[in-house]
Amino acid sequence: MKSCWKNVAGCAVALAVLNWAVARAAEQQTVRRETKTTTTTRDRADQADRHVTRDRDARDRDDRDDDNRFDDKTSNDVLRASEITGMTVKNADGKDLGKIDDLMLDMSEHGCVRYAALSFGGFLGMGDKLFAVPWSAIQFKHDDDDDECYALFDVSEQKLKSAPGFDKNQWPDMANPRWADAVNHHYAARNDEATKRTAKNDHQMALHRASQAMGMEVRNDKGDDLGKIEDIVLDMRTGKIRYAALSFGGFLGIGDKFFAVPWQAVMVDYDADDDDYFVAFDATKKQLEDAHGFDKDHWPDFGDQKWIAENDRHFRDHKASAKSKTRTRVE
């Protein structure tokens, strides 16, 4: 009888253990299922967040492109020096401050805009002084209402009143590192590599106002006058010089076409006899005839990757030749 009760008790224990194991397994399965559901939900939420972020970034890029749209043909990132000169300058409140009077170009092999010379006219009693503002302190916008471009210079009246200005007929030595440091410090602009190079070796740099650069003579290695610079094509965000728009007039019967020559394919040199600068670019009639010239009223699409590749390929030898020569040599 006792043996029977022991068997019954043993079976009961075994059954209880089995029930516990089954319940435990079910509980673990439920936890795994809930964990999987939670993970899946979180993954979906993360994916949704990524999509939202991606869409927001895309909208931001579109907004920036809309703000910076100047010409559909230039893919929103190129301006010509002639388009910038005379452009209206506004502050963040949309108030007209003045205009861009001129640009100071670094025409070395690292060609770029160093400063924009702004005139504020009677604003805050500024008079006729000019103010050199680092390129990085300026943004370019498009006014849809007026369908015009303008330069945005977000500066307080106090900072503007204390800005170092100069007479338009007496430009400062902008290659002077002390002057550059003072101006950059005033506008909290960083000293870029071009400024640092100037500080170390300013006699090898060529700083020219855009108004003086346009019209600069173009000569070949023999010293023959080929034509002149008609315009300078700039990257509006970085200020880098992308192309020099050259005209060769009647040279070798080329006609009145313009040629967008990569900046790396030319060099600025100095003629001690004439006491003047010129652009050195050795080209033959055949090379120019085969190049992608354009009419002055119909500029190319500088954002077209195919055009860029073909144009750069055509002037590849000129780029190699210019790189092997001393640039901006002053004798």
> Is residue 63 located within the same domain as residue 113?
no
Instruction: Tell me the per-residue pLDDT of 202-255, one tens digit each, with 9 for 90 and over.
Output: 444 579 999 999 999 999 888 888 889 999 999 988 999 999 999 987 666 666
Is the pTM here over 0.85, yes or no?
no
Which among 177, 208, 239 is the end of a domain?
208
What integer is the mean pLDDT of 271-293?
Answer: 82
**Is the per-residue pLDDT at 329 higher than 70?**
no
> Is residue 87 located within the same domain as residue 62?
no
Instruction: Tell me the per-residue pLDDT of 247-256, one tens digit each, with 9 for 90 and over.
Output: 987 666 666 7
Instruction: Tell me the per-residue pLDDT of 139-190, one tens digit each, with 9 for 90 and over.
Output: 998 887 777 889 999 888 788 778 888 988 899 998 888 998 999 888 887 6
CATH number at residue 204: 2.30.30.240
pLDDT band for position 302 (cuts 50, 70, 90): confident
Alpha helices, DSSP H, located in 125-221: 157-161, 177-186, 193-201, 210-213
Alpha helices, DSSP H, located in the chain: 2-67, 81-84, 157-161, 177-186, 193-201, 210-213, 285-290, 305-314, 316-323
Q: Which two tokens stand for residue 47?
A: 């994916």
Whether 23 maps to a domain, the answer reads yes
Instruction: Tell me the per-residue pLDDT of 251-274, one tens digit each, with 9 for 90 and over.
Output: 666 667 899 999 999 989 888 888
Q: Which range among 9-13, 284-288, 317-321 has the greatest average pLDDT?
A: 284-288
> Is residue 162 located within the same domain as residue 226?
no
> Is residue 203 located within the same domain as residue 215?
no
Domain that holds residue 99: 78-208
pLDDT band for position 117 (cuts 50, 70, 90): very high
pLDDT band for position 71 (cuts 50, 70, 90): very low
Of 11-15, 81-85, 246-250, 291-295, the poorest mean pLDDT is in 11-15
Which positions ≥6 away from 118 have C-beta within 8 Å?
A: 89, 97, 98, 99, 100, 101, 130, 131, 132, 133, 153
Whether 328 maps to a domain, the answer reads no
What integer is the mean pLDDT of 71-95?
Answer: 79
Which among 188, 208, 228 is the end of a domain?
208
Q: Which two tokens stand for residue 296?
A: 């002055």
Tell which wins on pLDDT, 71 or 88. Answer: 88
Whether 13 maps to a domain, the answer reads yes
| Rounded to 5°, angle at Cα 191 from 190 and 197 | 160
Mean pLDDT of the chain: 76
Of 72-81, 94-103, 155-164, the poorest mean pLDDT is in 72-81
State CA 255 to chain mean position distance.
33
> Is residue 140 located within the same domain as residue 251?
no
pLDDT at residue 321, rounded to an integer: 67
Instruction: Tell me the per-residue pLDDT of 31-41, one tens digit each, with 9 for 90 and over.
Output: 566 555 554 55
- For the chain, what is the domain count? 3
Query: What percent of the chain has a predicted confidence (pLDDT) above 90?
Result: 25
Whether 331 maps to a domain, the answer reads no
**Residue in this structure with the two tokens 């023959």, named with its chain if needed:** 224
Whether 330 maps to a domain, the answer reads no
> Is residue 198 located within the same domain as residue 226?
no
Which positions ≥6 away from 146 have C-beta within 8 Å?
A: none
Residue 303 DSSP symbol:
T
> Is residue 316 located within the same domain as residue 299?
yes
Tell which wins on pLDDT, 14 or 151. Answer: 151
What are 207's strand-pairing partners? 106
Which among 178, 208, 238 is the end of a domain?
208
Of 44-48, 268-272, 281-285, 318-322, the poorest mean pLDDT is in 44-48
What integer is the mean pLDDT of 114-129?
Answer: 79
- Report yes or no: 318 and 265 within 8 Å, Cβ to Cβ: yes
Tell which wins on pLDDT, 120 or 320. Answer: 120
